[in-house]
Amino acid sequence: MRANAGILGIPVLMALLLVRFPGHDQVAAALFIAFSLTDTVDGQLARRSGTVSDLGKFLDPLADKLFVLAVLIVLVQEGLVAAWVVVVIFSRELIITILRSVGASQGRVISAAPLGKTKTVMQMAAVTLLILQRPYPVLVPLADVAVAVAVVFTLGSGLDYLWRFRYLLGPFDTSRLRPGPAGGAPEASPAAELGQVLRANGLTVSVAESSTGGMVGALITDEAGSSIYFLGGVIAYSNQAKERELGVSRELLDSVGAVSREVAEAMATGVRQRFGTNLAVSVTGIAGPAADASSKPVGLTYIAVATETRCSSRQFNFTGDRASNRRQAANEALRMLSAEVRSIRQASP
C-alpha cells in the first residue's frame, strides 16, 4: 500500500505556516500544491495499474480531508480564515465519514463521487489562496470568493452523498416502501403493486436478469401468493448463458455488447418464450464499482418488457454504488411491468 504524501506532508506544512522566515508562506503554498498533485497522480496510477482496493477507496478520501483540515486549523490560529468555515467543512467530513463507516459495516464501499472530488479541488484552491494572501494582500478578495465557493461545494456535495446513499441510514430496507401522500401511510412496494395488477388481470410473468443477479425474482417472490403469477426466471450473467438459456445471438452480443437495448429486448423475448408467460422483464447493466473492460459508464442499465405482441425497453443511468444501482434497477423493472399491465388493460375492449 502506497504511503499518502498528504498525510506525510501535514507536519511540514504546519511548521512552515507557523515559523517566520523570508518566503515561508510561498514555500508552504508550493508544497501544499505539490502534495495535492502527488496524491492525485498516485490515485490515477493506482486505478490504471488495477491496484485500487476497497481499503484504498475508503482511506484516500479520508487522507484528503485530514490534509486540508490540518492546514485550515493552522490558518484559523494565524487569523487567515474564520473558524466557522472550518466548522462547516469538518462537520460535513465527519458526517460523510460516518456514512462511509456505516457502508463499510454492511460490506459497501462509498468511493469518492464526482461532486465530492470537485469539492476537494475547490477547497484546495481556497487554501492555497488563503496561504498566499498573507504575503500578497491583493489576493484577499479572491481568497474570500474562493472560500465562499468551497463552502457551497462542501455543503452541496455533502447533501449529494446523503441523498444518494440515504438507504444506508434507515433502520430497515426502505426499497420495499414508497412515500405516500403527505401525512399518509406508505404506498405498496413495487413488488406488491405488481402482484396486485397481475392477479387482477390473470396474467403471468417471468424474468431474465444479468446485473441484478436474481434480485427482481427475489422481490417478486417475497410477496405471498406470487406462485399464481410468477412462473420462473433465468440469471444469465455471462454472454454464454445469454446465448444458451435465452437464445440471444452471438452476433448481437458481439456487435452491440451485453449492456445494450437490443440485448435487453432479446433477453426479455427469450425468457417469455421459454416460460410461456404473458409478460417478461429483463435487466442488463453495469452495476459497478468499475466498468471492467467496457467503455460504457457505471450505472448504465437497460430494462426491457416483452408481451405477446411487442417488446419495449428503457435506458437508465444510475449514480449510486453497486448495491444501490442493482436495487434501483430491480425496482424500476417491477414498475415497468406494472405500467405495461395497465396499458394492456386499457387497450382491452
Cβ neighbours, 10 Å, residue 63: 18
Rounded Cα distance, 2 and 6, in Å: 12
pLDDT digits (tens, 9 = 90+) for 85-98: 999 999 998 888 88
Query: Residue 279: what are its φ and ψ, rounded to 5°?
Result: -135, 160
Q: What is residue 288's predicted lDDT score, i.e. its pLDDT?
A: 85
CATH number for 5-168: choose from 1.20.120, 1.10.1200, 1.10.10, 1.10.3110.
Answer: 1.20.120
The b/e string for 302-341 (b: 16+ C-beta within 10 A; e otherwise) is bbbbbbeeebbbeebebbbbbbbbbbbbbbbbbbbbbebb
CA distances from residue 193 to 118, 144, 177, 184, 272 in whole angstroms, order as listed? 40, 53, 11, 17, 21
Q: What is residue 13's predicted lDDT score, i.e. its pLDDT?
A: 83
Cβ neighbours, 10 Å, residue 231: 18
> Does residue 180 carry a pLDDT above 80?
no
Q: What is residue 175's predicted lDDT score, i.e. its pLDDT?
A: 43
Percent of the chain surpassing pLDDT 90? 55
Mean pLDDT score of the chain: 83
Spell out the long-range contacts of 285-290 with Cβ–Cβ below 8 A and sequence spacing 24 or more.
285/210, 285/211, 285/212, 285/259, 285/316, 285/318, 285/325, 285/329, 286/211, 286/259, 287/211, 287/212, 287/322, 287/325, 287/326, 287/329, 288/321, 288/322, 288/325, 289/57, 289/109, 289/111, 289/321, 289/322
Q: What is residue 112's predicted lDDT score, i.e. its pLDDT?
A: 65
Whether 323 contacts 108, CB under 8 Å: yes
Q: For residue 46, what pLDDT band results from cuts at 50, 70 and 90?
A: very low
Helix (H, G, I), strand (E, B) or coil at 229: coil
> Does residue 300 carry a pLDDT above 70?
yes
> Does residue 1 carry a pLDDT above 50?
no
pTM above 0.75, yes or no: no
Percent of the chain surpassing pLDDT 70? 79
The fold for domain 189-347 equals: Maf protein (3.90.950)
Query: Of 17-21, 181-185, 225-229, which has the strongest mean pLDDT?
Result: 225-229
> Does residue 316 carry a pLDDT above 60?
yes
Mean pLDDT of 25-37: 87
Rounded Cα distance, 247 and 269, in Å: 9
Mean pLDDT of 192-210: 95
Q: What is residue 187's predicted lDDT score, i.e. its pLDDT?
A: 55
Q: What is residue 128's predicted lDDT score, i.e. its pLDDT?
A: 93
Indicate the domain borders of the chain: 5-168, 189-347
